[in-house]
Amino acid sequence: MVINLCSSVTEYESLSHVYRSEDGPDGYLINLLEKGPQYYIDGFNSEFKLLVVNDKIIPIVINQGKDKSSYLSALSVHYIKHGIDSVKEKVKSRLLYGSLQCLGIILNALLNLVRINKAVYVNCWIIPTGASVYLNNEELLNIREFFQGAYKSYAIIFKGVNNYLHFEGMSLPNSNCLTNRIVYAVDMDEEFLKKSDIKKAIKANAKTTYLLTQGDQLKSIDMVTIRHLYNQLYFGKHSKYSLPYNQQWFEMIRALPFFKLQAFKNSDQEVVAFTVTFLDNGSIISSLGACKQNTADYFHLYTLNFAIRVLDAKTQHKNLNYSSGGDEFKKNRGGIARAEYDLIYFDHLSLIKKSIWRFFISICNKTIMYLNK
């Protein structure tokens, strides 16, 4: 089995068995490798590499143990800081939320003491919902052994493993499943399309006065507005530890055929809502989306964003992955909650680190499932 870890585009292109596709996901990954994630994501401070396994291209993020990193590449940020921030609206009891904050402070101190953030993330796209990759048991074990040899003091984390097509690794020995988040998905069948709320959403889209605009028709000034809408929602409503994408990131997404950026404009040609999707394993994946906050039309705009994803999935005869967030809205419109897991290997680490890892996984899994009952 051929495994290569590339730190530059030159290294990547020197491999004779890899190629650049016109509309595949590798264009996004090569851009990140060429300019570095820091060019597109403010303050990103982990390493980014590409792993080539046979003919598969897998994004790798390596955190040297920093807790001031992207929440997607720092466990203490993801599960404690970002996690507690993002559930504040779900937790009705102030006492329970206060208890979560206290537990978070204790856990954060403990995790940083043993540098639990020191980890290699396999298939980390640095977006909330990344594309999947098919790995059989042999490939997974070889990747694990490769990183255990090259990064002896690092945990190995395979992101979103139950999204991998025919993934077999959930039953592998010495592996541990950590609940990443709860996502919502639907089968795009006749029964779903007959639901009254779905019909209303599609009807609202057909009658709206807002203009649906495709990515190639958007201008750079629109990217400024789209970034502002993203910041309003993700930093203002969700968590201050969200990913700080800059304008270059949205410009890149607009230019890549793999991603579909769509926006709604008002009569003044101002962008008031946007959504980013891509096609993966037979499903339309809703990766990002936001609409103008604090406006009387907020719910209408939110519904429009939802409707165009449904229509895209219907037109292409694909299922729809709503991603996470907006739980009640998605449940009421046919979304089926599904836990997304990361697969973690830490048996090669010290005894104290293994003990803390097991404690951490147990606490996180129980807390996430309790909050999403």
Domains and CATH numbers, the chain: 3-181+341-371 (no CATH), 185-336 (3.40.630.30)
Alpha carbon distance 1, 53 (integer Å): 7
Report the 3 state secondary structure along 59-92: EEEEEECCCCCCHHHCHHHHHHHHHHHHCCCCCC
Structure tokens at 147: 């990183």
Write down the pLDDT at residue 165: 39
Write down the pLDDT at residue 210: 95
Query: Of 192, 201, 200, 261, nearest to 229 (Cα)?
Result: 261
**Phi/psi zone of residue 132: left (φ > 0), alpha (ψ -120 to 50 degrees), beta?**
beta
Q: Is the Cα torsion angle 184, 340, 48, 244 positive or negative in sign?
A: positive
Whether 14 contacts 64, CB under 8 Å: no
DSSP letters for 96-134: HHHHHHHHHHHHHHHHHHTTTTEEEEET--SSSSPPP--
Residue 131 makes CB contacts below 8 A (sequence gap 6+) with: 25, 125, 278, 280, 285
Write down the pLDDT at residue 166: 42
Q: Is the Cα torsion angle 302, 333, 321, 175 positive or negative in sign?
A: positive
Q: Consecutive 10-residue runs of the chain (373 residues): their mean pLDDT?
A: 91 79 83 94 92 91 80 80 72 77 82 85 90 84 94 91 53 75 83 84 91 95 96 85 92 94 96 94 87 90 92 90 81 82 90 89 80 67
Write down the pLDDT at residue 167: 47
Alpha carbon distance 137, 32 (integer Å): 28
Write down the pLDDT at residue 327: 77
Write down the pLDDT at residue 172: 61
By CB atoms closer than 10 A (0-12, 13-18, 19+), residue 107 is buried
Residue 21 makes CB contacts below 8 A (sequence gap 6+) with: 27
C-alpha 331: how far from chain center: 20
User: What phi and psi, each to the nearest 5 degrees, are found at residue 244?
Assistant: -85, 70
3-class DSSP state for residue 138? helix
Structure tokens at 140: 């997974």
